[in-house]
Structures are given as structure tokens and as C-alpha cells.
Amino acid sequence: MLPAPMTDHRLETDTDDGMALIISGPSGVGKTTITRGVERSIADSVFSVSCTTRPRTAADVDGVDYHFVTEDSFEQMRGSAEFLETAGVYGKKYGTPKGWVFEQLKRGRLVILEIDVQGAIQVKSQIPNAFALFVKPPTEDELLRRLKSRRREDEASIQRRFEAAKNEVTQAEASGVYNVFLVNERIDDSIRRAVDLVQGERARRREVVHKRRT
């Protein structure tokens, strides 16, 4: 099921505190665990569910993990400028529904987008004040160890992911779109740090707005 269309009706819970939060990082770095930790820790946060053309697995829940769409539907949405960003990964397409994101921002929510570097660049071009956080491993050796510990792939596949991960870190550092680079040594500490960074940034923005109004 795709996101509901936008509405101008204002809810009692709506605020003027909306902020887009981008979280990126290479495979195996722990970004999804950090993303979910931030989502659980900040009451008004909502997670942006991407559309994808990849096949749905038995473990997937449509509308929770992804919005599963056909190739034709995806291209129709892209042609209608319905995506905030799109990406191709291993021959499958992914896209962030634009209307839903802007609706949630208008309602004052913290909208979390877990996307790659190219996606972050696209989002920043449309939402320049998005707060972008990139999760890095402590060392390359530790990243390789984490990839191997997942025991999901053969050695050749792990090495391909490892090379892709190193390239993604390099791209992130050169992109100029990230506000913070968070080194994930211990996951609980990293979640707390990410939450503190996000809450601090929202407080800073509220203070700026307050000063403008007084």
C-alpha cells in the first residue's frame, strides 16, 4: 500500500518542529540499528518507507519494510516527480515518496530517511536544511569483521560489499552533504549519541525561530 495523499487538515498533535533526518552508512556498520534506536527514542519520529521494485520475501511486510511496486508503477511515479530521491541497487529500484515526507514535515514530525550517499545528495538538493548523519566503522578491519560475522554471504560477496563500503565512506566524506560523521564503536553509545545530536539540532532550530519572533 502506498502512502496516503496529502491533506491540509491540521491535527491537534501537529507542531512547527518538523525536520528531515538522513542516516547513511555502509553495509555492516550498524546504521539500521541506530536508525531504529533513534526512532524508538524520539516520540514524534516517523520512518520513511521506500518504494521498491525488488521482489517481496516471506519476511517482508508491505508498507512497513517497503512499498512493493512494479517496474511500470515505479517509472510512472518517477515520471510524475513523485520521488524525493531514487537509487538503483543490484538491478532493483528504490525511491522515497516525496508527498508523504513533506506531509510529515508539515505536521512537525522528525522524518527519518535511511538512504545512501547518492540519495542524500538528492534529498539535500530539495530539502537543504535536512540534518544528515553518516555512520562510520571504527576501522576498515572492524567493518570487514562485522560483515563476516553476519554469515549471510560467501567470501567473494563479502569482499565485494567491503570494497563498496569503503567507496561509500570516501564518497560521503567528499560529498559535503553530511552534518555529522558518527563512528560506531559500541552500538548503545552510538544510539545515545545520535539521539543527542538530533535533539540538540532541533532545540537549536527552535531557539533560532524563537529569536526571530521576539
**Domains of the chain: which residue ranges?**
19-213
> Which sign, positive or negative, has the C-alpha torsion 30, 99, 3, 118?
negative
CB 137 within 8 A of CB 146: yes
Query: For 106-163, what is each residue's pLDDT tens digit?
Result: 999 999 999 999 999 999 999 999 999 999 999 999 988 888 887 778 888 889 888 9
* CA dist., res. 187 & res. 135, Å (int): 11
* CA dist., res. 40 & res. 28, Å (int): 21
Question: What are 153's three cell numbers?
Answer: 554471504
* CA dist., res. 177 & res. 130, Å (int): 9
Query: For 29-88, what is each residue's pLDDT tens digit?
Result: 999 999 999 999 999 999 999 999 999 998 889 998 899 999 999 999 999 999 999 988
CATH 3.40.50.300 fits 19-213, yes or no: yes
CB 13 within 8 A of CB 123: no
Q: What is the DSSP string of 25-39?
A: --TTSSHHHHHHHHH
Query: Taking the model in full, what pTM does it have?
Result: 0.87
